[in-house]
């Protein structure tokens, strides 16, 4: 599974200004509603419910909020680069500035897990993250996110 299967250029927010985790999730749900045609509040509630189970802030300034939602036709991704890092209750207590939302149909099962693993692998690459943080152009961000990954494991 490629990131380009999940993401299109209109699913990239190059500079999101938010002050809190809740506000970030609201803005991402709003944008995801535009893309998927689903109800913004329903998307927000799914994301909030997932966060109650434990933060999706995975460390190193990265969060991967995700959820399964009925009525979705396929897996959808959305990437946001934050203007300023925010507290996301991450596992390493570091503020988050890169967010990759992943939404899956209710019955996605293994595909949802594969997509999460793929996104996680991409954002574990320090060089990729440095480049993402250094760009505020949606097309450039999309290009970085979807370029084939080399095996430069900069951990």
Apex 58 CA angle, 116 and 81, nearest 5 = 85
Q: Give the single-character DSSP code of 121.
A: H
Q: One of 60, 66, 76, 153 is an active-site residue; which one?
A: 66
Catalytic residue flag (residue 66) = yes
Helix axes of 126-133 and 110-124: crossing angle, nearest 10 degrees: 80
Tokens of 113: 């897990």
CA separation for the pair 50, 37 (Å, rounded): 21
Instruction: Identify the bridge partners of residue 101 per DSSP, sorted by sequence position.
Output: 78
CA separation for the pair 134, 144 (Å, rounded): 11
| Residues with catalytic function | 66
């Amino acid at each position: 599974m490629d990131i380009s299967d999940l993401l299109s250029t209109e699913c990239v927010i190059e500079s999101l200004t938010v002050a809190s985790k809740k506000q970030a999730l609201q803005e991402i749900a709003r944008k995801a509603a535009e893309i998927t045609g689903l109800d913004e509040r329903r998307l927000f509630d799914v994301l909030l419910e997932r966060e109650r189970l434990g933060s999706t802030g995975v460390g190193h300034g990265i969060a991967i909020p995700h959820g399964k939602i009925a009525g979705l036709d396929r897996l959808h991704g959305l990437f946001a680069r934050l203007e300023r890092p925010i507290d996301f209750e991450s596992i390493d207590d570091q503020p988050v500035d890169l967010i990759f939302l992943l939404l899956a149909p209710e019955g996605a099962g293994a595909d949802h897990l594969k997509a999460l693993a793929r996104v996680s692998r991409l954002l574990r690459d320090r060089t990729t993250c440095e480049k993402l943080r250094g760009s505020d152009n949606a097309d450039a961000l999309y290009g970085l996110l979807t370029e084939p990954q080399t095996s430069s494991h900069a951990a």
